[in-house]
A = this chain, B = another copy of it.
Protein backbone atom coordinates (compact mmCIF):
# COMPACT_ATOMS: atom_id res chain seq x y z
CA UNK A 1 0.00 0.00 0.00
CA UNK A 2 1.61 3.21 -1.15
CA UNK A 3 -0.82 5.68 0.41
CA UNK A 4 0.63 5.91 3.85
CA UNK A 5 1.28 9.61 4.12
CA UNK A 6 -1.69 11.92 4.12
CA UNK A 7 -0.48 14.29 1.43
CA UNK A 8 -0.92 11.76 -1.31
CA UNK A 9 -4.67 11.38 -0.84
CA UNK A 10 -6.98 12.88 -3.42
CA UNK A 11 -8.99 14.55 -0.66
CA UNK A 12 -6.09 16.75 0.30
CA UNK A 13 -4.82 17.37 -3.19
CA UNK A 14 -5.30 20.94 -4.38
CA UNK A 15 -5.50 19.68 -7.97
CA UNK A 16 -8.46 17.40 -7.33
CA UNK A 17 -10.94 19.66 -9.10
CA UNK A 18 -8.95 19.50 -12.35
CA UNK A 19 -8.05 15.87 -12.09
CA UNK A 20 -9.83 12.51 -11.97
CA UNK A 21 -11.55 13.04 -8.57
CA UNK A 22 -13.67 15.93 -9.87
CA UNK A 23 -17.27 15.59 -8.61
CA UNK A 24 -16.56 12.30 -6.85
CA UNK A 25 -18.17 11.82 -3.45
CA UNK A 26 -16.21 10.83 -0.36
CA UNK A 27 -16.54 7.12 -1.00
CA UNK A 28 -15.57 7.53 -4.64
CA UNK A 29 -12.43 9.38 -3.72
CA UNK A 30 -11.52 6.73 -1.23
CA UNK A 31 -11.89 4.02 -3.84
CA UNK A 32 -9.83 6.01 -6.30
CA UNK A 33 -7.23 6.54 -3.59
CA UNK A 34 -6.82 2.82 -3.03
CA UNK A 35 -5.68 2.24 -6.60
CA UNK A 36 -3.52 5.33 -6.96
CA UNK A 37 0.17 4.92 -6.30
CA UNK A 38 2.87 7.43 -5.83
CA UNK A 39 5.54 7.55 -8.50
CA UNK A 40 9.07 8.33 -7.47
CA UNK A 41 9.96 11.98 -8.14
CA UNK A 42 11.37 12.77 -11.54
CA UNK A 43 14.36 15.00 -11.95
CA UNK A 44 14.76 17.50 -14.75
CA UNK A 45 15.26 15.69 -18.05
CA UNK A 46 14.07 12.32 -16.67
CA UNK A 47 11.87 10.52 -19.17
CA UNK A 48 8.57 9.27 -17.74
CA UNK A 49 7.29 7.34 -20.74
CA UNK A 50 8.79 6.35 -24.06
CA UNK A 51 6.82 6.25 -27.28
CA UNK A 52 5.98 2.65 -28.07
CA UNK A 53 6.04 1.50 -24.46
CA UNK A 54 2.95 -0.45 -23.34
CA UNK A 55 0.41 1.59 -21.44
CA UNK A 56 0.39 0.47 -17.81
CA UNK A 57 -0.40 3.66 -15.94
CA UNK A 58 -2.07 6.94 -16.48
CA UNK A 59 -0.11 9.64 -14.68
CA UNK A 60 -1.44 12.68 -12.90
CA UNK A 61 0.97 15.54 -12.35
CA UNK A 62 1.04 16.58 -8.68
CA UNK A 63 3.72 19.20 -8.96
CA UNK A 64 6.32 20.22 -11.53
CA UNK A 65 5.85 20.00 -15.27
CA UNK A 66 6.58 17.85 -18.31
CA UNK A 67 6.70 18.11 -22.05
CA UNK A 68 5.31 15.49 -24.41
CA UNK A 69 6.86 15.07 -27.82
CA UNK A 70 7.18 12.76 -30.74
CA UNK A 71 10.26 12.06 -32.81
CA UNK A 72 9.45 12.43 -36.48
CA UNK A 73 10.82 10.50 -39.45
CA UNK A 74 13.78 12.83 -39.63
CA UNK A 75 14.65 12.24 -35.99
CA UNK A 76 13.45 15.70 -35.05
CA UNK A 77 11.71 16.29 -31.74
CA UNK A 78 8.23 17.72 -32.06
CA UNK A 79 6.66 18.98 -28.84
CA UNK A 80 2.93 18.38 -28.70
CA UNK A 81 2.07 19.39 -25.16
CA UNK A 82 3.21 20.81 -21.85
CA UNK A 83 1.73 19.27 -18.71
CA UNK A 84 1.10 21.21 -15.52
CA UNK A 85 -0.09 20.00 -12.09
CA UNK A 86 -3.55 18.41 -12.34
CA UNK A 87 -3.00 17.33 -15.93
CA UNK A 88 -3.15 13.70 -16.91
CA UNK A 89 -0.48 12.11 -19.06
CA UNK A 90 -1.25 9.14 -21.26
CA UNK A 91 -4.63 9.72 -22.89
CA UNK A 92 -3.14 9.37 -26.34
CA UNK A 93 -2.09 5.83 -25.41
CA UNK A 94 -5.57 4.47 -24.68
CA UNK A 95 -6.33 3.77 -28.32
CA UNK A 96 -3.45 1.45 -29.07
CA UNK A 97 -2.56 0.39 -25.55
CA UNK A 98 0.86 1.89 -25.99
CA UNK A 99 2.26 5.35 -25.61
CA UNK A 100 2.56 7.37 -28.76
CA UNK A 101 4.75 10.12 -27.44
CA UNK A 102 7.62 10.66 -25.05
CA UNK A 103 7.10 12.55 -21.82
CA UNK A 104 10.01 14.22 -20.11
CA UNK A 105 10.22 16.24 -16.89
CA UNK A 106 11.08 19.91 -17.30
CA UNK A 107 11.92 20.24 -13.61
CA UNK A 108 11.62 18.12 -10.46
CA UNK A 109 8.17 16.58 -10.81
CA UNK A 110 5.89 14.55 -8.55
CA UNK A 111 3.32 12.21 -10.02
CA UNK A 112 0.42 9.98 -9.12
CA UNK A 113 0.38 6.68 -10.92
CA UNK A 114 -2.99 5.18 -11.83
CA UNK A 115 -2.88 1.53 -12.98
CA UNK A 116 -4.96 1.24 -16.11
CA UNK A 117 -6.43 -2.15 -15.25
CA UNK A 118 -7.67 -0.93 -11.87
CA UNK A 119 -8.95 2.26 -13.41
CA UNK A 120 -10.85 0.24 -16.02
CA UNK A 121 -12.58 -1.71 -13.28
CA UNK A 122 -13.41 1.37 -11.26
CA UNK A 123 -14.79 3.12 -14.32
CA UNK A 124 -17.37 0.38 -14.76
CA UNK A 125 -18.74 0.88 -11.28
CA UNK A 126 -18.42 4.63 -10.94
CA UNK A 127 -20.44 6.64 -13.47
CA UNK A 128 -19.07 9.97 -12.28
CA UNK A 129 -15.50 8.79 -12.73
CA UNK A 130 -16.35 7.62 -16.22
CA UNK A 131 -17.93 10.95 -16.92
CA UNK A 132 -14.87 12.81 -15.75
CA UNK A 133 -12.60 10.63 -17.92
CA UNK A 134 -14.78 11.47 -20.91
CA UNK A 135 -14.82 15.10 -19.93
CA UNK A 136 -11.06 15.30 -19.70
CA UNK A 137 -10.56 13.53 -23.01
CA UNK A 138 -13.21 15.61 -24.73
CA UNK A 139 -11.60 18.81 -23.47
CA UNK A 140 -8.27 17.66 -24.73
CA UNK A 141 -9.75 16.97 -28.15
CA UNK A 142 -11.30 20.36 -28.39
CA UNK A 143 -8.39 22.32 -27.05
CA UNK A 144 -5.87 20.69 -29.33
CA UNK A 145 -8.07 21.24 -32.37
CA UNK A 146 -8.74 24.76 -31.29
CA UNK A 147 -5.03 25.35 -30.84
CA UNK A 148 -4.36 23.93 -34.24
CA UNK A 149 -6.66 26.45 -35.82
CA UNK A 150 -5.48 29.25 -33.64
CA UNK A 151 -1.81 28.82 -34.35
CA UNK A 152 -2.18 28.10 -38.02
CA UNK A 153 -3.53 31.45 -39.00
CA UNK A 154 -1.71 33.69 -36.61
CA UNK A 155 1.48 35.70 -36.64
CA UNK A 156 4.45 34.96 -34.43
CA UNK A 157 3.42 37.76 -32.05
CA UNK A 158 -0.09 36.42 -31.77
CA UNK A 159 1.11 32.86 -31.22
CA UNK A 160 3.43 33.77 -28.41
CA UNK A 161 0.86 36.07 -26.80
CA UNK A 162 -1.66 33.25 -27.04
CA UNK A 163 0.82 30.86 -25.46
CA UNK A 164 1.41 33.19 -22.52
CA UNK A 165 -2.30 33.85 -22.05
CA UNK A 166 -3.04 30.14 -22.08
CA UNK A 167 -0.33 29.46 -19.54
CA UNK A 168 -1.64 32.30 -17.42
CA UNK A 169 -5.17 30.86 -17.53
CA UNK A 170 -3.93 27.41 -16.65
CA UNK A 171 -1.99 28.68 -13.65
CA UNK A 172 -5.03 30.59 -12.52
CA UNK A 173 -7.21 27.46 -12.76
CA UNK A 174 -4.66 25.81 -10.49
CA UNK A 175 -4.90 28.46 -7.84
CA UNK A 176 -1.54 29.96 -8.75
CA UNK A 177 -0.68 33.46 -9.85
CA UNK A 178 -1.92 34.24 -13.34
CA UNK A 179 0.41 37.21 -13.72
CA UNK A 180 3.69 35.94 -12.38
CA UNK A 181 5.11 32.54 -13.22
CA UNK A 182 8.15 30.62 -14.31
CA UNK A 183 8.63 29.22 -17.78
CA UNK A 184 9.96 25.77 -17.03
CA UNK A 185 10.56 25.06 -20.68
CA UNK A 186 13.37 26.58 -22.74
CA UNK A 187 12.88 29.16 -25.48
CA UNK A 188 13.70 26.38 -27.91
CA UNK A 189 10.85 24.27 -26.48
CA UNK A 190 8.41 27.15 -26.88
CA UNK A 191 9.61 27.74 -30.42
CA UNK A 192 9.31 24.08 -31.28
CA UNK A 193 5.79 23.95 -29.86
CA UNK A 194 4.64 27.14 -31.61
CA UNK A 195 6.42 26.48 -34.88
CA UNK A 196 8.78 29.43 -34.50
CA UNK A 197 12.55 29.74 -34.23
CA UNK A 198 14.32 30.33 -30.93
CA UNK A 199 15.45 33.71 -32.18
CA UNK A 200 11.89 34.77 -32.90
CA UNK A 201 10.75 33.77 -29.42
CA UNK A 202 13.55 35.72 -27.89
CA UNK A 203 12.95 38.79 -30.04
CA UNK A 204 9.22 38.86 -29.35
CA UNK A 205 9.69 38.46 -25.61
CA UNK A 206 12.07 41.42 -25.76
CA UNK A 207 9.60 43.39 -27.84
CA UNK A 208 6.71 42.66 -25.44
CA UNK A 209 8.94 43.79 -22.60
CA UNK A 210 9.85 46.92 -24.52
CA UNK A 211 6.16 47.72 -24.93
CA UNK A 212 5.65 47.27 -21.19
CA UNK A 213 3.19 44.41 -21.65
CA UNK A 214 5.29 41.90 -19.78
CA UNK A 215 8.49 41.79 -17.82
CA UNK A 216 10.86 38.91 -18.46
CA UNK A 217 13.83 37.97 -16.30
CA UNK A 218 15.21 34.75 -17.74
CA UNK A 219 12.58 32.12 -16.93
CA UNK A 220 10.47 34.45 -14.83
CA UNK A 221 7.55 36.15 -16.52
CA UNK A 222 5.51 38.99 -15.09
CA UNK A 223 2.42 39.96 -17.01
CA UNK A 224 2.07 43.69 -16.49
CA UNK A 225 -0.89 44.35 -18.79
CA UNK A 226 -2.94 41.14 -18.99
CA UNK A 227 -5.73 42.77 -21.00
CA UNK A 228 -3.28 44.10 -23.57
CA UNK A 229 -1.60 40.70 -23.86
CA UNK A 230 -4.97 39.04 -24.39
CA UNK A 231 -5.70 41.51 -27.17
CA UNK A 232 -2.40 40.74 -28.84
CA UNK A 233 -3.33 37.06 -28.88
CA UNK A 234 -6.22 37.68 -31.29
Contacts and interface: CB of A to CB of B under 8 A. Distances in A.
A212 interface: no
A225 interface: no
Given A124-B127, A145-B80, A138 B74 contact: no
A135 B101 CA distance: 16
Stoichiometry, copies per complex: 2
Interface stretch (A33-41, A91-99, A214-222): A91-99
Contacts of A78: 149-150, 152-153
Nearest to A194: B152
Interface in A185-219: 192-195
Nearest to A133: B134
For the side of the interface on A, what is the size category? 35 or more
A149 B191 CA distance: 11
Contacts of A146: 70, 80, 100
B234 A74 contact: yes
Interface of A: 68-70, 72-74, 76, 78-81, 91-96, 100-101, 123-124, 127, 130, 133-142, 144-153, 192-195, 234
Closest 8 pairs between A and B when the two form their complex, measured CB to CB: A152-B195, A95-B138, A94-B138, A78-B149, A92-B142, A80-B145, A144-B144, A95-B139
